[in-house]
Structure formats: C-alpha cells, structure tokens
Chains A and B, each alone.
Chain A
Amino acid sequence: GAVVSQHPSWVICKSGTSVKIECRSLDFQATTMFWYRQFPKQSLMLMATSNEGSKATYEQGVEKDKFLINHASLTLSTLTVTSAHPEDSSFYICSARVSGGDEKLFFGSGTQLSVL
C-alpha cells in the first residue's frame, strides 16, 4: 500500500526555537495533506488541511502564524512550529489523500514534540 514518511519521529527543543516536521508521500502524489495533533489523553484533532500550491486551511483555534504549513510539491508538506513553547508539546501526525477513484487516507507515523 501507499506509504507516508514523517520525520522526525521525535524531537526535543528549547522554548522559543522553531521546529520543522516533514511529511512525504513516497509512492504516490498527494494533492491534499492533513495535519493533526494529539495532546495526552485527548483526541487526535485536525489542525489544518494543506493543498499543493495553495495556502493551508486552518481549523478554528489553530494559529496560522504559529503553525506554518508549506505544501510546495505533490509529495512533500512541512509543518513548522514557530517560537515553540511547552504548551506546544504534543504528538503531531500527517496524512495524505490519494485522489481519483477510490479515495483513501494514508498516515505518517507521527512526531512527538517536547518543548523544554
């Protein structure tokens, strides 16, 4: 089946620094990618929808200037957490949608971010 590669799998950073998370579709082109986050003991929540070549659509309550999403190619989307703070510590997961015919979602393995 289709594979979505997400890196890094975990990252620890200092407060105030920026962190970039990459999501790549390895064997298919993904016109749409999604970014989720999950705080401890809470649900996996959609943060934003990213379409190749256009601006991302953010869910209510998600700061677009803090969580920068770039989807410059059909196989790569990046999420940059700018000026990270401890409350941004969370599990971030991307998914990519295969379009045309039987549409399906494929997920990355997730990134655990810890901000000190």
Chain B
Amino acid sequence: GDSVTQMEGPVTLSEEAFLTINCTYTATGYPSLFWYVQYPGEGLQLLLKATKADDKGSNKGFEATYRKETTSFHLEKGSVQVSDSAVYFCALSPPFGNEKLTFGTGTRLTIIP
C-alpha cells in the first residue's frame, strides 16, 4: 500500500538558517503530494501541494518539488523564522482527490532566536 517516510525529528535550528525536511513516498501511479503544518494548539493546515511530476508547490517561503524519479517531496525554506516552529506532516493522496490522505510521522521543528 501507499506509504510516506518522513525525516524524524525533532529538528532545532537557529533563526535565518536553511531548512530541509526530507520526505519520500511509495505509491502506485501519480499521487498528489502535500505538506501540512500544525502550529501549537491549532489544527493541521495545508501548507503547499503538488499534483504532478516536476511541479513545485510554494507558500510562505516554503517550497517542495515533486520528484518522480526519486519519489521525493522534500520541504525547504531558505531562512526560517521563530514563527515557523511547528509540526510538519508530509502526505499523499490518490490522483484527482485528497480524500484519503496517507501521512508521514510528522517532524517537529523548533526555531531558536
């Protein structure tokens, strides 16, 4: 079945550091790929998504590129801020729908001033 393998945390970085959170997946066909973020005390929110190979999703300075050849969707940000501290989840869904999401374990990110 489908699965998502995500970089284990926790990850602690200094403000303005470069961030990479690795995510690889196993799925049949061409799934849609997502990054969700959960800020303290809040629900998961969609951060960005990509629906086909070579697509780049971006939002709030974060980017992730759908790499079919390496089955990866790594999350990157060039300069993190304290407000980026949260738990980040990589996820996938079958093509043409986000109804049944398969999630990774989540990565807790802490940014220190």
Contact = CB atoms under 8 A, between A and B. Distances in A.
Interface stretch (A63-71, A82-90, A98-106): A98-106
Contacts of A109: 38, 41-43
Label chain B's interface by main secondary structure: loop
Contact of A43 (B42, B44, B98, B105): B105
A6 interface: yes
Interface of B: 3-4, 8, 36, 38, 41-46, 89, 97-106
A104 B104 CA distance: 19
Contacts, number: 53
Contacts of B105: 38, 41-44
Given A43-B4, A43-B105, A95 B44 contact: yes
A107 B98 contact: no
A6 to B, nearest CB: 7
Main SS class of interface, A:
strand
A81 interface: no
Contacts of A9: 41
Contacts of B4: 43
Contacts of A103: 97-98
Contacts of A97: 99
Give the one of A93, A107, A108 with max B CB within 10 A: A107
A107 B44 contact: yes
Contacts of A44: 89, 103, 105-106
Contacts of A79: none
Nearest to B6: A43
